[in-house]
Amino acid sequence: MSEPVATERMSTSGGGVAVLIAVTLGAVVAVGLGIYGRVHEPQFFSVSVAGFSSGTSVKSWLATLAVVLALFQLASAFAMYRLVPGGRAPAWIGTAHVWSGRLAVLASVPVAVHCLYALGFQETDNRVLFHSLFGCFFYGAFVTKMILLTRKGLRGWVIPIAGGLVFFGLVYVWLTSALWFFQTSGIVL
């Protein structure tokens, strides 16, 4: 009778170690991005895409696409965890959840590359400072979640918390960049 308890404790502590390793690696990524952005000499360039008025406009719309996909991620996660009325989620929701997440990150990568390479980590005012901090936090939380998704034996709340932190980071980055752009420049392409 004592053997199953020992096995259960070992798997729980293994899950705790996996979470600690994932969080540590995510923190290394976040800090690494921040250090790179801080020590890298900003290039102050902008790539404009046909049909858009400026590089900042492209970034704002890509970030908005990422947030819309992240909102679908949130809704589909609620459905998968049966937190919405109606019981069972449709069979396709898991696949749609995975692909919407992939597309959201794919949409965010050109924005992050431009921000880090062209502008770097800045602190000219509070909005810019928090945008820089939460941009680094978002990718650190994303790395943490991706590592955790490959681990078995985690407690049921670990992945939803990691996903919530990724969502929070992305939304805050959007609030301090794309929303600010739309409020100051209008909703333009």
- Taking the domains of the chain in order of start, what are their residue ranges? 2-185
Tokens representing 50 are 């046909």
Q: Which of 171, 148, 136 is nearest to 30 (CA)?
A: 136
Tell me what pLDDT residue 118 has.
84
Question: Can you give the pLDDT at residue 48?
Answer: 65
Q: Which amino acid is at 103?
A: L
pTM for this entry: 0.83
Instruction: Check residues 153 and 1 and name the one with the higher pLDDT.
Output: 153
Rounded percentage of the chain residues whose pLDDT exceeds 70 = 88
Query: Could you give phi then psi for residue 91, rounded to 5 degrees?
Result: -60, -30
Q: How confident is the model at residue 15 (pLDDT cuts 50, 70, 90)?
A: confident
Average pLDDT over residues 60-76: 94
Residue type, 80: M
Give the model's pLDDT for residue 35.
93
**Mean pLDDT calculated for residue range 57-86:** 91
